């Protein structure tokens, strides 16, 4: 860590306070410009650990920046990952409350439910598919704690990749029965089409993105556990929403997932 002693605790408190108080803050790198990606992952892990100590449970992993367009925009050449905890799970039949967020956006994803443990540093997309029990449509609400949703790569990683909420569809499908790269998706807001995408937008194949994450976790002697939920990455750009908005994402062969905000 390049941070001075005690700065990690200060940064974690800073980000947790912003989330709890629903207030945006200036990015961490304004004060710590030397913060590296490796430092940021250490901070992320400590931040998530704090949530677990306070009563949440780790339920899985999420991928971010899985599209080549987003990576080029950020000037990077690989994805990022964060963790899912139990209090992020929202239910499709219950409205999401807008006042719990700062400046939320929603993006459509394919979620994987792991049927067995998966760990290593040479994991392939085929390994991921074999270890997956089901896939289902998902919506992820991202809500950066940073002012105007502006940040550097270390900032967003430290902030657990803007994680806020996720919603899973009710249809669970055997991943071997669907060509996930070719799955088409249409996301609508208030009955009007907002975005379209395909599974191939996620590093060519959603399982490839997950394999990348497993290999990265493997370097930290971590991996995926049986029962983990993994959000494989957005099939299209995220869209902003407000109180009263209704979102639905429909996926070929996988069904749909919806969200209402009040």
Is residue 199 within 8 A of residue 180, CB to CB? The reply is yes
The 3-class SS string of 127-146 reads: HHHHHEEEEEEEEEEECCCE
Quote the radius of gyration of the chain (alpha carbons, Å): 17
Residue 84 CA, chain-centre distance (Å), reads: 8
pLDDT recorded at residue 3 = 63
Q: Is residue 182 part of a domain?
A: yes
Residue 139 lies in a domain: yes
Q: What share of the chain is helix, strand, coil (3-state, %, to 5)?
A: 35, 30, 35
User: In the 8-state DSSP scheme, what is residue 96?
Assistant: B
Enumerate residue ranges in the chain where pLDDT < 70: 1-5, 69, 71, 73-74
Query: Residue 66: what pLDDT?
Result: 87
219 domain-assigned: yes
Residue ranges making up the domain that contains 146:
7-260
82 lies in a domain?
yes
Using alpha carbons only, what angle is made at residue 116 by residues 115 and 118, rounded to the nearest 5 degrees? 125
115 lies in some domain = yes
CB 248 within 8 A of CB 256: yes
Q: CB under 8 Å to 184, separation ≥6 — which residues?
A: 196, 197, 198, 251, 252
Residue partners of 194: CB distance under 8 A and separation at least 6: 187, 188, 239, 247
In whole angstroms, what is the distance from residue 244 CA to residue 96 CA? 10
Specify the CATH number for the domain of residue 200.
Answer: 3.90.850.10
Q: Does 98 reside within a domain?
A: yes
Tell me, yes or no, whether 2 lies in a domain. no
User: Rounded to two decimals, what is the model's pTM?
Assistant: 0.95
d(CA 216, CA 221): 9
| Pairing state between β 163-168 and 89-90 | parallel
In whole angstroms, what is the distance from residue 245 CA to residue 243 CA?
6
Query: Does residue 1 fall inside a structural domain?
Result: no
- pLDDT at residue 1, rounded to an integer: 54
Q: What's the confidence (pLDDT) of residue 6?
A: 75
User: What is the spatial distance between Cα 159 and Cα 249, in angstroms, rounded to a whole number?
Assistant: 26
Counting the structural domains of the chain, the total is 1
pLDDT value of position 7: 87
Q: What is the per-residue pLDDT for 2?
A: 56
User: What are the tens digits of pLDDT across the range 46-96?
Assistant: 999 999 999 999 999 999 988 776 767 667 778 999 999 999 999 999 999
Give the distance, in angstroms, between the CA of residue 227 and the centroid of all CA atoms in the same chain.
17
Q: How many CB atoms lie within 10 A of CB 145?
A: 29
């Amino acid at each position: 860590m390049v941070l001075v002693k005690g700065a990690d605790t200060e940064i974690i408190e800073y980000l947790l306070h912003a989330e709890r108080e629903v207030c945006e803050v200036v990015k961490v790198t304004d004060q710590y410009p030397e913060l590296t990606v490796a430092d940021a992952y250490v901070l992320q892990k400590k931040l998530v650990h704090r949530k677990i100590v306070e009563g949440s449970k780790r339920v899985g992993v999420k991928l971010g920046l899985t599209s080549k367009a987003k990576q080029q925009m950020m000037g990077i050449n690989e994805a990022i990952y964060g963790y899912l905890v139990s209090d992020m799970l929202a239910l499709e039949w219950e409205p999401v409350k807008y006042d719990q967020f700062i400046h939320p956006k929603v993006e459509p994803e394919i979620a994987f439910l792991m049927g067995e443990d998966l760990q290593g540093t040479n994991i392939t997309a085929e390994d991921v598919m074999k270890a997956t029990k089901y896939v289902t449509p998902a919506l992820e609400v991202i809500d950066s704690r940073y002012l105007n949703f502006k940040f550097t790569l270390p900032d967003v990683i430290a902030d657990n990749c803007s994680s806020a909420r996720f919603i899973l569809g009710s249809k669970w499908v055997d991943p071997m029965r669907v060509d996930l790269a070719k799955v088409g998706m249409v996301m609508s807001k208030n009955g009007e089409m907002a975005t379209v995408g395909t599974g191939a937008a996620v590093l060519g194949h959603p399982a490839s993105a997950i394999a990348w994450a497993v290999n990265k976790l493997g370097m930290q002697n971590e991996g995926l556990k049986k029962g983990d939920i993994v959000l494989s990455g957005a099939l299209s750009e995220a869209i902003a929403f407000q109180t009263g908005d209704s979102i639905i994402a429909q996926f070929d062969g996988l069904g749909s997932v919806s969200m209402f905000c009040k």
